[in-house]
Structure 1
Amino acid sequence: MSILGIDRITYGVEDLPACRQFFLDWGLRLVREDASGLNFESLNGCEIWIRLIADPALPPAFEAGATLRQVIWGAENAADIATCRDRMSGQPGFHEGDGTVFCTDPNGMGVGVRLSRKRPVEVKGVPVNTWDHAARIDTPAPIYPRAEPVEVGHVVFFTDTLEATTAFYEALGFRLSDRYPGRGHFLRCSARGGHHDLFLLQTPDAKRGLNHIAFTVRDIHEVFGGGLHISRCGWETQLGPGRHPISSAYFWYFRNPAGALVEYYADEDVLTEAWQPRDFEPGPTVFAEWAVAGGLDGNTRRQKTGAPGQDGRFLTDKR
């Protein structure tokens, strides 16, 4: 069985105009807009739906306020859909429609599986010159004025049912990549793929909720270009830019009017059947090898929370 990744996410929100502006600034394409909500898509057709929080068509919320209400996963073929139907049929809220099988996972999140509707897209990142291999010669690396996310790469949930929710997704073919024993599980949807498509985190207060949605971009330069653009647009950094030791990915997190956080990321590890899950103790140095607190100012390109006197002027600027 092969689930290929996230095909669609749906938010229930309180402020539709703010979400409209945020996701346009984020780099998504608005493909539908009416009084009921907004439909965006990424470069490869991954769908981001925004609906008003009181929309009766939304699955029940697993936390109060604006948050994610549903994740639709894309399968490779009809046999995969049939297998998922069998394994989801005993879950609460099970039903079918529009070629999709739906249920509610043990954490209270609306889940669906359908044949993937994402389209192939030719996207190329920037080759990196290392000490032993020059992949970019007579060619400077680009500076991106903003980001254009390729797809929704992963979702991260707080959970109070870590083992049960993990077992649910493992029944759909997900694989454990790494873990915080008893606290968190990084899961990828198939044996071969990026480090994680789903991360489940059980904190000491054992709550349910959304932590963040992560959008894949081409390379580290687009993480910076997108983050600087979002900063110029006036949106607030939560943390970043930075780098995760566990997945090796570069990141930049922003606060999102649709709920919780969103992330630009690039350069995550790619795993195969040979990978053996590792155990980590949660902590700040495990979360980030390095990170910029408060983010970078999109205009000065300097740290927003720099020490007194670090006002973003260059060495040759008059004081």
Structure 2
Amino acid sequence: MSILGIDQITYAADDLPTCRRFFSDWGLALKSETADELIFECLNGCRVVVAAMDRPGLPPAMEEGPTLREVVWGVESDADLARYAAAIADEPGFVDAEAEGARRIGCTDPNGLAVRLQVSRKRSIDLECGAMNTWNAKPRINQAAPVYERATPIEVGHVVFFVADVKATAEFYAHRFGFVGSDSYPDRGAFLRCAPEGGHHDLFLLQLPSGKRGLNHVAFTVRDIHEVFGGGLHFSRCGWETQLGPGRHPISSAYFWYFKNPAGGLIEYYADEDQLTAEWQPREFEPGPTVFAEWAVDGGLDGNTRRQKNAEGPQGKFLTEKK
């Protein structure tokens, strides 16, 4: 019995028209729209809900302003759901009710976030991805690597929160839901995956000296490094502002590109994270710029010139041509 991953997230935002354009440009499919709610889907059916902040029935917020109000994790079966319900029945905010035509259980985590579980609605999909040729393995033969005009995210891969007590919150997810530690910043941050075998992290908890609680970012998985670049360039052309990227994380090995999000926090395209098993031994790191990013472009790339922001555009000459 283990959680399969994120099935749905719910933002509460104060500008739905802007959010509608933002998530459509991001590459999500708009499935339904009402005056106080937008529902988007990723390629595998993972849902992103954006609700007006005054919509009835929203869980309480961890912080002021637009932010994430709820994370719904998927499980394999009704039997799994029943076992998790028994494990969290005494937790604050416990719920066991029908939502969107299915049973959904949940509670409130120590950081004040609404955590829910349901039998997963995500679909299995088979996608063609760019193969990487290395010195030892060359799987891409007589074929160019892909160039993407934009991104179409596969799913919500992980969420990251500022927490008031990283130890208590990490223990909650480990003891109640079986999450496994991947790596950590001692007493500062915990990278957790929802099953012994899987991607490097589904959840990252970060404790600041101020004790701030709230959303840091939501990360969307794309096919490969080429889609990180193609998606980021398209999103830049649409006029949205980069926070940092593209770049590469030494912890998790993933390539990333972060943008500012009108629904709260940051939003990330990422690909090529480490895959771990139960044999993995968690590591400890001291926070620092080179631990967060092996390399990163500050301010992003311009989608039209394909150069760093505010850099001179290409002139039609070979880069090696001398004056």
Normalised-by-shorter TM-score class: over 0.9
> Deviations for 1:61-81, whole angstroms, at most 9, x for unmatched residues?
000000000000001122321
- Which amino acid in 2 is paired with 1:149? P
Match of 1:244 in 2: 249
Q: Describe the SS at the equivalent of 2:44.
A: coil
Q: Describe the SS at the equivalent of 2:4.
A: strand
- Which amino acid in 2 is paired with 1:166? A
CA distance in 2, matches of 1:250, 1:63: 29
* Cα RMSD for the two superposed structures: 1.4
Q: Describe the SS at the equivalent of 1:60.
A: coil
> Deviations for 1:86-134, whole angstroms, at most 9, x for unmatched residues?
2221222111112110211100001101110101111131111101121
CA distance in 1, matches of 2:164, 2:317: 51
> Is residue 88–residue 94 contact of structure 1 (8 Å, CA) maintained in 2?
yes
CA distance in 1, matches of 2:93, 2:36: 23
Q: Describe the SS at the equivalent of 2:116.
A: strand
1:141 is displaced (CA, Å) by 0.7
Number of aligned residues: 316
Judge which range, 72-81 or 111-120, deviates more.
72-81
Q: Describe the SS at the equivalent of 1:3.
A: coil
Judge which range, 256-265 or 83-92, deviates more.
83-92
- Which amino acid in 1 is paired with 2:214? G
For residue 132 of structure 2, the aligned residue among 128, 131, 156 is: 128
> Is residue 215–residue 263 contact of structure 1 (8 Å, CA) maintained in 2?
yes
Match of 1:40 in 2: 40
CA distance in 2, matches of 1:280, 1:83: 35
1:209-288 matched pairs, under 5 angstroms: 209-288=214-293
Match of 2:53 in 1: 53
Judge which range, 257-266 or 128-137, deviates more.
128-137
1:185 is displaced (CA, Å) by 0.2
CA distance in 2, matches of 1:63, 1:188: 25
Match of 2:317 in 1: 315
TM-score, normalised to structure 1's length? Answer: 0.97
Judge which range, 82-91 or 253-262, deviates more.
82-91
**Structure 1 residue ranges without an equivalent (≥5):** none
1:1-319 matched pairs, under 5 angstroms: 1-98=1-98, 99-171=103-175, 172-306=177-311, 310-315=312-317
CA distance in 1, matches of 2:306, 2:108: 43
CA distance in 1, matches of 2:164, 2:114: 16
1:316 is displaced (CA, Å) by 5.0
CA distance in 2, matches of 1:2, 1:120: 17
- Which amino acid in 1 is paired with 2:43? L
CA distance in 2, matches of 1:165, 1:80: 22
- Which amino acid in 2 is paired with 1:52? A
Greater than 4 Å deviation, 4+ residue runs: none
1:36 is displaced (CA, Å) by 1.8
CA distance in 1, matches of 2:229, 2:137: 24
1:9 is displaced (CA, Å) by 0.1
